[in-house]
Structure 1
Amino acid sequence: MNAPQVLSRFRVSGLDCAACAAKIEGAAKRVDGITEISVSVAAATLAVRHVEGLDLSALADRLSPMGYTLAPLPAAAGPDAAPGAAPACSGAGAHGHDHDRDHAAAPGPGEAAPADRRWWAAPKTRLTLASGAALVAAFGAAWVVPQARAEIFVVAMLVGLVPIARRAFAAARNGMPFTIEMLMTIAAVGAVVIGAAEEAAAVVFLFLVGELLEGVAAGRARAGIRALAALVPKTALLERAGAAVEVPAERLPIGAVILVRPGERIAADGVVLAGASGVDESPVTGESAPVAKGPDAPVFAGTVNGEAALRIRVTAAAQDNTIARVVRLVEEAQEARAPTERFIDRFARHYTPAVVAVAALVAVVPPLAVGAGWDEWIYKGLAILLIGCPCALVISTPAAIAAGLAAGARRGLLMKGGAVLETARQVSVVCFDKTGTLTAGKPQVTDIVAVSRPEAEILALAAALEAGSSHPLASAILARAAADGIAPAPAEAARALSGKGVSGLVDGREVLLLSPRAAAALAPLGAEPEARIAALAAAGKTCAVVVADGRLAGLIALRDEPRADAKAGIAALTRKGIRTLMLTGDNRATGDAIGAALGIDVRAELMPQDKLAIVGALKRAGAVVANVGDGINDAPALAAADIGIAMGGGTDVALETADAAVLHGRVTDVAAMIDLSRRTMGNIHQNIAIALGLKAVFLVTTLAGITGLWPAILADTGATVLVTLNALRLLSARPG
């Protein structure tokens, strides 16, 4: 019988690049009882699945000598979380961490770890400063005591090299002999052996500077998504016993009522109970103009209230509000590696041993084969060791993927992993559901046709009959009356006519609101009204007939109208050379009418299995298909497509069922997502070119005797910093 499995999660200090992640993963694999390992560079987290009750102090013991410490995190919510996962972290607080303190203070999703907040106090910073001070002191001492110059610089070198060598040998004991630290150690010791102690000390210092810059850049990349979490205020005004009491926002229960004053940030997802105000949603949705909010309107945590106070009922706990869920899902997505990233990782595993072999051949073959000078060629071999360090190459892809995912999330474009981000650039066909995706998902009054009564009176009579009804068509009529400033008179004896409509008395007159068929059964409508009804039906509109005192008063037409940006969204995809297709279960007339208005091909009257079949046929024809739907009735097609994109306002279903989600319901965001994917892949190709290009240049100049150890380490450090900074450009680029 298999032992029960649990999941434990940790914040990892010192985790700055993909090479670090590989070392942590390699060490974790050697701990008996751990069955699954996931390391996220972007989130600086480690998740391990292991047998229940396992003492994970063995993992901390393996990682500490390599420069990594663990702080337990609360178990992740969701299907991967196992009961009791958090307590399973026993022993992880070893090596300078108090377990209870770390566990209590462990950052949640998106919260900055202490090491990220105070990089200048991190061990790497202290070591770099100590190495730099030792190097400066060595230059001064060597000037005073020149006869001991070599010994002085060896001492200065050891200040920085000893911790590096300790990490190198710790990694070797964990089955990873070819690490950047080992290459650095061999190069530094070799330089001393051939009498280049001064260069060895300088190279060690430059290596530490590069590591420090790498850590700072990694922290900045993480801050890109954590900035979202910082939008939510720490406190809220809770209504209690008729008074507003300030309480921590994280403790607000669902159903609580909070008061948000003008200019304040909203502390929780909720629904407006009272008040009317413009809310600045730009921090969350990117909308440039304030959105009007009144009773029953939803609001998001982190948005800014405008000109009037709002009373809001909380609808989600702090850990489940829109921002927290987006941050959590993005951090999880950053753990899913893209195909290019997996290829680079596999390449790097063979690349580093190959570099060692080439460096060894360069060092020994010329002296043995042609009698060249040993010191010269050993020096060149050591330089090649440093040039060949894989840091820049290994980080080139994950840095760009993490930045791309974070940039998308900040604009409401959520992609669940690097594979999704990478595939989006290849999309050649986008299939859209109609209702709730290309359209708003609720009918609106589009036409009022006067026959024997004026338009305003027709609308007032219909609204009087529909008052109090929750039917979508009734809601549309009432919304239009409210928008036109019409306050309908109360209806008496109102009743539903099964399958036909409603009837009642309005100001003493009998009024009926009927379907065209039911109205025609009472009395002939006349040639002109029937022609108008037929024309409205051909345009995909639902028609209601208003009869007052036995006479046809007029017609009201309703339709689920396209979203305001639907036409622009389809046009943006067309400009990119992407074919668009509407797949709808609605009748053909309605589908064709909406399709003609938007400029999109239409397949109508489809069952879910029909949509699935169409997506499958497109894929077999060689298309890369994205399917955009509401995440519920389109589930089969969403799952079958190369990328399933949920359209919605950040609902649980939309976030959990598809590969990606357009959180703010903008059709134009589908094109923006594809544009972001193309930008990200372009960035990755630039990074790989920078990493390999610099190495190729310095390899040639080193063999030619033009450059040596100093430029070699600068080439590696410089390339690493350059690719990281290039990736960070994605955070500020606006898709589309």
Structure 2
Amino acid sequence: MTAQLAPALVAVLTLALAVALAAYVAAPALAHALARRRGRASGVSLPARAALAAAPHVDLLVADAAAVTTGRLRVVDVAPARAGDERNLRWFAGALGHGAEDPVSRALARSSPRGHLSGVTSQDGLGLCGSVDRHPVRVGQPAWLGDLDHGGGSGSTVAVEVDGRLLGRITLAAEPRPDAAATLTALAGRGIEPVLVSSGPAADLERLAGEVGTARCVHLPGPGDLSALVSGLRAEGRVVALAGPDCGADLRLTDAGPDPGAVVLDELDIASVAAALDLARSVHRTARLLRRVALALAVLAAAGLGAVALLRLL
């Protein structure tokens, strides 16, 4: 090696070693900055790195049942008062439903053409009444229509009366998101157990959990039950991510921003929650990868310096 080349090579290798070591130290901050930039492009705001410390270890996600629904209702059961009346039950209830915009009416309307409507009025939250093809029709709470045998149960149940006769009942429930089952399955495949919670009827929650393929759901009727659930899960050694209010979870995702201690999303639907959780967990993976690359470069630079020193001794 020429005398002129050796100093230049040593300078280059020394600089490379310094840069590699600096990159090793800066890797976590760089990974966090890259993740925050990706998040902004998709409507996700990541908190400071300290708030994401538990993200790589999360093994359970608690999410409200609303996260796996579209926000709409759909018909889940039709119970005519007399055999053979199911078609008429759907027709009259759906036709009258075209005359209103509340969630129950919209769900009923999707199962029937409009028909000829007249005189449709809302009865103080009890239901609707009007005329469908000149038949007087009422749709609403069973007790309002004298359906005293209605025993409650899951979903929103309405009774249907046509021409002064009880035609039957229709039960509606929350409509699952088309991507909910696949998203929850993917989360489980990545080692994150999904748990659905709701303060609504327990039967509705169990029905929804079965439809989206979630093995675990918890009914939370009281205001403090969510905090107690999270505390209990953490006491079991679980690392909990929570899509919802601040209840002491290891990692929190919310749509009520800005919040410096939580991952903030535009919406808390399950697909967005899963994507945001993946983004939060990616910070640690990216930092580890960057450190491995930096360490490899540092080793190569140090080996080069050692080789140059050895050649100069020979």
TM-score (norm 2): 0.78
Counting only pairs closer than 5 Å after superposition, residues 133-212 of structure 1 correspond to structure 2 as: none
For residues 468-494 of structure 1, what are the alpha-carbon distances to aligned partners after superposition, in whole Å with 9 as ceiling and x for unaligned?
A: 54433223334x15xx5x123223273
Asked if 1 retains the 8 angstrom alpha-carbon contact of 2:129 and 2:137, the reply is yes
- TM-superposed deviation, 1:586: 0.6
The answer to whether the aligner puts 1:566 opposite 2:192 as a matched pair is: no
| Equivalence for 2:119 | 492
Q: Report the CA distance shift for 1:699/1:441 in structure 2 as closer, same or farther (over 3 A).
A: same
User: Counterpart amino acid of 1:544?
Assistant: V
| Equivalence for 1:681 | 284
- TM-superposed deviation, 1:677: 4.3
- TM-superposed deviation, 1:544: 1.2
Asked if 2 retains the 8 angstrom alpha-carbon contact of 1:494 and 1:505, the reply is no
Q: Report the CA distance shift for 1:416/1:468 in structure 2 as closer, same or farther (over 3 A).
A: farther
| Equivalence for 2:55 | 424
Q: Report the CA distance shift for 1:655/1:406 in structure 2 as closer, same or farther (over 3 A).
A: same
For residues 520-551 of structure 1, what are the alpha-carbon distances to aligned partners after superposition, in whole Å with 9 as ceiling and x for unaligned?
A: 457xx7xxxx6xxx6xx65x322211111122
What CA distance in whole angstroms lies between the structure 1 residues aligned with 2:207 and 2:273?
22
| Equivalence for 1:291 | none
| Equivalence for 1:548 | 162
The answer to whether the aligner puts 1:511 opposite 2:137 as a matched pair is: yes
| Equivalence for 1:146 | none
For residues 260-292 of structure 1, what are the alpha-carbon distances to aligned partners after superposition, in whole Å with 9 as ceiling and x for unaligned?
A: xxxxxxxxxxxxxxxxxxxxxxxxxxxxxxxxx
| Equivalence for 2:217 | 602
User: Counterpart amino acid of 2:75?
Assistant: V
User: Counterpart amino acid of 1:430?
Assistant: L
What CA distance in whole angstroms lies between the structure 1 residues aligned with 2:224 and 2:159?
36
What CA distance in whole angstroms lies between the structure 2 residues aligned with 1:707 and 1:517?
97
Count of equivalent residues: 305
Greater share of strand residues, 1 or 2? Answer: 2
User: Counterpart amino acid of 1:561?
Assistant: E
What CA distance in whole angstroms lies between the structure 2 residues aligned with 1:684 and 1:562?
37
User: Counterpart amino acid of 2:302?
Assistant: L
Asked if 2 retains the 8 angstrom alpha-carbon contact of 1:425 and 1:674, the reply is no
What CA distance in whole angstroms lies between the structure 2 residues aligned with 1:432 and 1:675?
15
> Between Structure 1 and Structure 2, whose CA radius of gyration is higher?
1
RMSD value, Cα: 3.5
Q: Report the CA distance shift for 1:488/1:422 in structure 2 as closer, same or farther (over 3 A).
A: farther
Greater share of helix residues, 1 or 2? Answer: 1
| Equivalence for 2:230 | 615
What CA distance in whole angstroms lies between the structure 1 residues aligned with 2:41 and 2:179?
20
What CA distance in whole angstroms lies between the structure 2 residues aligned with 1:474 and 1:463?
7
- TM-superposed deviation, 1:585: 0.7
| Equivalence for 1:624 | 239
614, 637, 641: which one aligns with 2:249: 641
- TM-superposed deviation, 1:440: 2.0
The answer to whether the aligner puts 1:692 opposite 2:295 as a matched pair is: yes
The answer to whether the aligner puts 1:439 opposite 2:41 as a matched pair is: no
- State the identity as a percent: 25
Q: Report the CA distance shift for 1:384/1:492 in structure 2 as closer, same or farther (over 3 A).
A: closer
What CA distance in whole angstroms lies between the structure 1 residues aligned with 2:45 and 2:302?
41
Q: Report the CA distance shift for 1:608/1:588 in structure 2 as closer, same or farther (over 3 A).
A: same
Question: Which fold has the larger relative contact order, with Cα–Cα distance below 8 Å and residues 6 or more apart in sequence?
Answer: 2
Asked if 1 retains the 8 angstrom alpha-carbon contact of 2:52 and 2:251, the reply is no
What CA distance in whole angstroms lies between the structure 1 residues aligned with 2:105 and 2:273?
32
Alignment partner of 2:305: what SS? helix
| Equivalence for 2:25 | 394
What CA distance in whole angstroms lies between the structure 1 residues aligned with 2:116 and 2:90?
11
| Equivalence for 2:93 | 462
Alignment partner of 1:623: what SS? coil
Q: Report the CA distance shift for 1:594/1:419 in structure 2 as closer, same or farther (over 3 A).
A: same
What CA distance in whole angstroms lies between the structure 2 residues aligned with 1:519 and 1:617?
45
Asked if 1 retains the 8 angstrom alpha-carbon contact of 2:243 and 2:268, the reply is no
For residues 338-368 of structure 1, what are the alpha-carbon distances to aligned partners after superposition, in whole Å with 9 as ceiling and x for unaligned?
A: xxxxxxxxxxxxxxxxxxxxxxxxxxxxxxx
37, 40, 49: which one aligns with 1:406: 37
- TM-superposed deviation, 1:682: 2.8
What CA distance in whole angstroms lies between the structure 2 residues aligned with 1:680 and 1:592?
35
Alignment partner of 2:114: what SS? coil
- TM-superposed deviation, 1:552: 2.7
- TM-superposed deviation, 1:429: 1.4
The answer to whether the aligner puts 1:659 opposite 2:290 as a matched pair is: no
| Equivalence for 1:589 | 203
For residues 223-282 of structure 1, what are the alpha-carbon distances to aligned partners after superposition, in whole Å with 9 as ceiling and x for unaligned?
A: xxxxxxxxxxxxxxxxxxxxxxxxxxxxxxxxxxxxxxxxxxxxxxxxxxxxxxxxxxxx
| Structure 2 portions without partners, runs of 5+ | none
- TM-superposed deviation, 1:420: 4.6
| Structure 1 portions without partners, runs of 5+ | 1-195, 207-382, 630-634, 647-652, 709-736
For residues 361-407 of structure 1, what are the alpha-carbon distances to aligned partners after superposition, in whole Å with 9 as ceiling and x for unaligned?
A: xxxxxxxxxxxxxxxxxxxxxx7687345432233222222223333
Q: Report the CA distance shift for 1:573/1:707 in structure 2 as closer, same or farther (over 3 A).
A: farther
What CA distance in whole angstroms lies between the structure 2 residues aligned with 1:400 and 1:493?
59
- TM-superposed deviation, 1:516: 2.9
What CA distance in whole angstroms lies between the structure 1 residues aligned with 2:31 and 2:55?
15
Asked if 2 retains the 8 angstrom alpha-carbon contact of 1:586 and 1:604, the reply is yes
78, 95, 103: which one aligns with 1:472: 103
Q: Report the CA distance shift for 1:662/1:493 in structure 2 as closer, same or farther (over 3 A).
A: closer
TM-score (norm 1): 0.37
Asked if 1 retains the 8 angstrom alpha-carbon contact of 2:121 and 2:129, the reply is yes
